[in-house]
Amino acid sequence: MLDLFSEIEQPEREELKRLRKELEEANYKYYVLNMPTLSDREFDEKMHRLQDLEAMFPDLYDPKSPTQHVGSDLGKKGFEQVKHKYPMLSLANSYSREEIEDWVRKLPAGVEIVCELKYDGLSISLWYEHGRLTRALTRGDGQQGDDVLQNIKTIPSIPWQINRTDLPDFFELRGEVLLPWERFEALNREREEQEEPLFANPRNAASGTLKLQDPREVARRGLDAYLYYMLGENLPGTTHYERLTTAKAWGFHISDAIKVCHSVDEVMNYIAYWDTERKNLPVATDGIVLKVNDLAQQDELGFTAKTPRWAIAYKFPAEKQLTLLREITYQVGRTGVVTPVANLEPVQLSGTMVQRATLHNEDFIRSLDIRPGDRVWVEKGGEIIPKITGKENPNTPINPNTPITQIFPTVCPECGTELVRIPGEAAWRCPNETGCPPQIKGKIEHFVSRKAMNIDGLGEETIDLLYRQGLLHNIADIYDLKLADIASQERLGEKSAQNMLAGIEASKQVPWSRVLFALGIRMVGETTAKKIARRFPSIDSLQWATTEQLCAIEDVGPQIAENIVHYFEDMRNVEILNRLREAGVQLEANGEGLEANVSDKLAGQTIVISGTFSQHSRDEYKDLIEAHGGKNSGSISKKTSFVLAGENMGPEKRKKAEALGIPLITEDEFLERIEN
C-alpha cells in the first residue's frame, strides 16, 4: 500500500521540482536579463501551485525555493552591494474583486486603505542622511541591493540634498524608477535603427538603463521616478498618507493619484477609474497598490517570508484581442537578419489600431504553431509593442495543409540568396552583404546617422533615390557625390545638394571612434567602438588585431572579435576603407581627447573611484584610467589595485578597503602617478 501511494505522489513531487526550476529561471530572466518569459498572471499561478505542492510535501522544504524569497536583480557589473536597513519585499498580487474582499476581511474592522497607482518600473531605496542622498539601492534579493547612486543622481526628480531644519537624521524613501512612454519610444527607435533588440516595455528599459556603467548614457535616456513609502526612526505622522504628504512638502516626487478609501466599493471604484484613465498617463502602470493607512496597524499585521500582510497589489488585466493573421512577410535588415512580420486584420488595442506585429524569428513561429489564416491573440497590456501571444485553438491547426516548415523562407526575399543560420543564433541571415539592396541601403543609413558620421540631408528616402539612380552602392560612394548629380534628382535641387555636400565635408572631422562605429561591423555598438578605438588608435593597427587581442578589451567577446576579424578579411571592405582614407575620413586618432591610449602606466590594474573631486569629474577620471591602460570597477575586491579616494569617500568602501589592505591614493597622488 505504501508503494502504491508513493507511485501516486511521484508525479506531483516531480511537478514541484520542475516548478521551482522554472520559477527560478523566470525570476532570473525578469530581474537580471530584463527579458520576461512569463506574464505576471502566469507567474503567480505557477507560484500558487508550487505553494500548494510544498504544503503537500513538507519533507521537500527548501529555504532556497522561490516561495521563500523574492526574485533578485543583483548583477555582476561592478556595483557595490549593500545590505538593506529594512528588508525590501515584494507584494502579493490579486486579480479580482473577490481576492480584494478576501484580503480586506482579514484586516481590522473599520481600517482605512490607501490606494495608489502601481508604476511598472524598477524598485529603488533612497537613503538620506542629514538631508543628503547617500545611497540608492535596487531591490536585489530583498536583503541586499546594488548601489546605483551615481546613476540615480542623473534623474532630475530625485533631490541630492534637502535643506530643511525639520528632517530626521536618517530616513529612507522607496519608489519606482521609470522610463516615460515618450523616452521609451525614442530609445526603441534608436535601437531599431541599429538593429539592436527592442525593449519589450518601459520596465525592462528602465531596469537595463539603471544598471549601465556610464551615468552620461543614463542621463541621456531620461529616467523619472515616483516615490511611495517612507521608513526610518522618529518620522513625522502616524499614517502612511500623512508621511507621503510630508515627503511631498519636502520636495519629493509623490503621485497626486493617491486616495484614502474606507470600503471595498470605494477601492473598486478607484480601480475602475484608473483602469481607463491610466492610458493618459506619461508613464506605464500595471495595477493598483492597496496599503493599510495606520502605521501601528501595519506593525501589528507584520510580514510573511516574502510579502507584507498590510499591502496587496491588484493587477490590471492585459488588454488583448482576437484577429486574423492575414499573411507573414519578411524584412531584411542592415546586417542581413530576416525578421518575420505578422500582417493582421486591423484591430483596436489600447487606443491604437494594430495591423502589424513582429514574430521575431522562426523559433517563435514554431513555438506558437501559427500560420497565415489562423486567428491569433494580440496583446499589449503594459507593452507598447503589440505582440502575438497565441492562437484561437492552440491544439488544433487551422490550416493543417500548410506545413510550418514551409512558412519560413529558405532564400532572401529581396535578392534570392540562400539564407544561413549561424549556430547558437535564432535568426536566419542573408550573407549577400554587398548585393542585397536592404543591406546596402541600411549600411549607408547607419553610416550617416547622428551618432555615427552625422551627415544631414542623407535620409532614408534620399539614400533610396540615389541608390536607385546608381549613385550610391556603398559608404565610400558618399564622398564621390557631385553637386550636379545630386541637384538633378527629383525633390532635391541645388540648395539641398549644397547642404548635403557641406555635411559630407564636415563628416571628415568625425573622430576615429565614431568612424569605427559608423562602419557597421556587426555587434560593434557605440560604446564598444570607443573601447576598441582606445586600444587600437588607427584602422591600420585594428586591421591586424588577433581575436585574442580583441577579447582582452572590456566588453569584447569572442563573437564580436570574430566579426571584426572577418570584416577585414573581406577585400571589398578593405577597398572601401582605402577610398575613405583617400577622401580624408579620420581613420586614426588625431590626438584630441582620449581617443587612444595615452600610456600603459595603469596596465593590468583595476581601480575603484570613490568620493568627490575638485580637479576632474568622476567620469573624466574613469576616462583617464582607461586612457592609461587601467580598468574601472565599481566595487572593492581582492583584485582591486588601489582606490582613487576623494572627499566624502563612502564609509563602507573605506572599511572594506582597509580590511583587504587596498591602498587609498588621493587625487593629487593619482595625477602625479600618471603624469610622471
CB–CB of 112/262 below 8 Å? yes
Alpha-carbon span 138 to 176, nearest angstrom:
10
SS3 at position 295:
helix
SS3 at position 271:
helix
Residue at 399: amino acid letter = N
To the query of whether residue 118 is one of the catalytic residues in this protein, the response is: yes
The strand pair at 144-146 and 81-83 is best described as antiparallel
CB–CB of 416/438 below 8 Å? no
Residue 116 — φ and ψ, nearest 5°? -135, 155
**Which of 118, 291, 441, 530 is an active site residue?**
118
142 has which bridge partners? none
Closest to 650 in 3D by CA, of 611, 619, 598, 624: 611
CB–CB of 92/301 below 8 Å? no
Cell of 518: 559608423
Alpha-carbon span 252 to 250, nearest angstrom:
6
CB-based contacts of 434-442 (< 8 A; 24+ apart in sequence): 434/474, 434/572, 436/332, 436/336, 436/412, 437/467, 438/331, 438/332, 438/333, 438/334, 438/414, 439/332, 439/333, 439/334, 439/335, 439/336, 440/467, 440/473, 440/474, 441/467, 442/195, 442/333, 442/334, 442/335
3-state secondary structure string across 373-429: CCEEEEECCCCCCCEEEEECCCCCCCCCCCCHHHCCCCECCCCCCECEECCCCCCEE
CB–CB of 584/507 below 8 Å? no
Alpha-carbon span 621 to 449, nearest angstrom:
29
Alpha-carbon span 559 to 537, nearest angstrom:
21
> What's the Cα-to-Cα distance from 646 to each of 448, 611, 612, 626, 638, rounded to whole Å?
41, 4, 5, 19, 21
Cell of 175: 519608489
Which residues are designated catalytic?
118
